[in-house]
Amino acid sequence: MDFSRLDTPFYLYDTDLLRQTLRQLTAAADRHGNIHIHYAVKANANPKVLRVIRESGIGIDCVSGGEIQAALDAGFPASSIVFAGVGKSDREIRLGLHHDIFCFNVESIPELEVINELAGEMGRTANVCLRINPNVDAHTHANITTGLAENKFGIALEDMERLIALARQLDHIRWRGLHFHVGSQITDMSVFSTLSDRINEIQDRLDAAGLHMDIINVGGGLGIDYDDPAGHPIPDFDAYFAAYAQHLRLRKGQEVHVELGRSIVGQCGSLITRVLYVKQGAVKQFAICDAGMTDLIRPALYDAHHHIDNITATGAVLLSDAPAAVGRMERYDVVGPICESSDVFDKDVLLPVVRRGDILALRSAGAYGEIMASRYNCRPFALPYTTDELRKEC
């Protein structure tokens, strides 16, 4: 493909890979029974991406009013929307009530009371799951760990019965069950079995108290392979669902809900950037790109690693393209143009010799990439293209 007519940087979304991922996801869920999938839209809310996801028929998980609006605009039915977040504003709660969304995942007593009050004013009843903080270590980066007692998310286990009692007593609340989400980029399946064990203990406790629920929402968090995206373009959804199927003891009629973000969209996106300069530093060789932390903040924010390909050298634009043989390799610090020392994509990366004008692809940029972009340094937002659009353009 000839990119010379396109401005760089840009996001490239491989919609074929996305469709394949969605097919494998829904097939794996079907094999494991009564599982309802909600796509966590905070990973990527690009309308072109949302349209493909909506066509697969799965539901959606929102953490703000803006996300609820984006989901509705993309054609997701309100009856498939779950809404979490520690700080829901009155306006956001009213939006959810107005559209009669499937469920509010409630994170505190004051929030529960406000939802009850607003629902009363609007003559509605809100379906509610209580988000419990199960104090389970997700064994992932501290900035994306959410299920430890010290984190701001969810309701403490000690307060659970008191909150359920309160929820059952409020006139405009219908208590449906419990919600959990312990973190993101989880690659150790034992985290999900540990969470299942904790949920089983909780269910035993609630059974003893005569409290029955029909929804158990286990959240998201399944990780992707950032080191070898071409080798593992689609996560092992079967192993993920098996961890729950083997460990979670469900009661009769209970539905399991999951909220996956990264594992659905992560591998389908690449950030495509042009090398502006190759600079020989005192101790390093730098490949200076026209993309920076404003387009992909994960390396700066989470110490994240993104695989980088010199696609001018390999000719492999998509993960599924076979790379051509390459010549000499050298090491580079691949950096952006932003005036911040943390604006580094990766250090000492071995790449086929890089020249000014070469095009690099930062892989696995489909999740928490474009959606976290900023205009710092007054930079314009990079444009998104799907593979179909690119084939037409180039």
Ligand X SMILES: *Cc1c(COP(=O)(O)O)cnc(C)c1O
**Residues found near ligand X in the complex (CB under 6 A):** 40, 42-43, 61, 63, 84, 181, 184, 219-222, 259-263
Give the nearest distance from C-beta 105 to ligand X in angstroms. Answer: 7
* Cβ-based nearer residue to ligand X, 82 or 311: 82
Q: Can you list the positions of beta strands (E) in the chain?
A: 10-13, 35-40, 59-62, 81-83, 103-106, 126-133, 155-156, 173-179, 215-217, 255-260, 269-280, 285-289, 308-310, 329-335, 344-352, 359-362, 383-386
Residue 208's H or E segment, with its range, is helix 190-208
* Cβ-based nearer residue to ligand X, 52 or 288: 52
* Cβ-based nearer residue to ligand X, 126 or 288: 126
Give the nearest distance from C-beta 250 to ligand X in angstroms. Answer: 20
Residue 239's H or E segment, with its range, is helix 237-247
Give the CB-side neighbour count of residue 65, counting CA atoms within 13 A.
Answer: 13
* Cβ-based nearer residue to ligand X, 219 or 229: 219
**Quick one: which of 175, 178, 167, 159 has its CA closest to 113?**
167
Give the nearest distance from C-beta 39 to ligand X in angstroms. Answer: 9
* Alpha-carbon dihedral sign for residues 38, 43, 44, 49: negative
β-strand partners of 308: 362
* Cβ-based nearer residue to ligand X, 189 or 349: 189
* Cβ-based nearer residue to ligand X, 184 or 294: 184
Give the nearest distance from C-beta 295 to ligand X in angstroms. Answer: 19
Give the nearest distance from C-beta 308 to ligand X in angstroms. Answer: 22
DSSP state letter for 183: B
* Cβ-based nearer residue to ligand X, 219 or 269: 219
* Cβ-based nearer residue to ligand X, 107 or 333: 107
Cis bond leading into 47, ω under 30°?
Answer: no
Report the relative pairing of strands 59-62 and 81-83 from DSSP bridges. Answer: parallel
Q: How far apart are CA 197 and CA 21, in angstroms?
A: 28
Both tokens of 373, joined, read: 């972009």
Q: Find out whether 104 and 115 touch, Cβ atoms under 8 Å.
A: yes
Q: How far apart are CA 375 and CA 284, in angstroms?
A: 28
Both tokens of 273, joined, read: 């950037």
* Cβ-based nearer residue to ligand X, 6 or 53: 53
Q: Rounded to the nearest 10 degrees, how much is the dihedral formed by the CA atoms of 298, 299, 305, 309?
A: 90
Give the nearest distance from C-beta 370 to ligand X in angstroms. Answer: 14
Give the nearest distance from C-beta 230 to ligand X in angstroms. Answer: 21
Q: How far apart are CA 335 and CA 67, in angstroms?
A: 31
* Cβ-based nearer residue to ligand X, 170 or 260: 260
* DSSP codes, 19-59: HHHHHHHHHHHHHTSSEEEEEEGGG---HHHHHHHHHTT-E
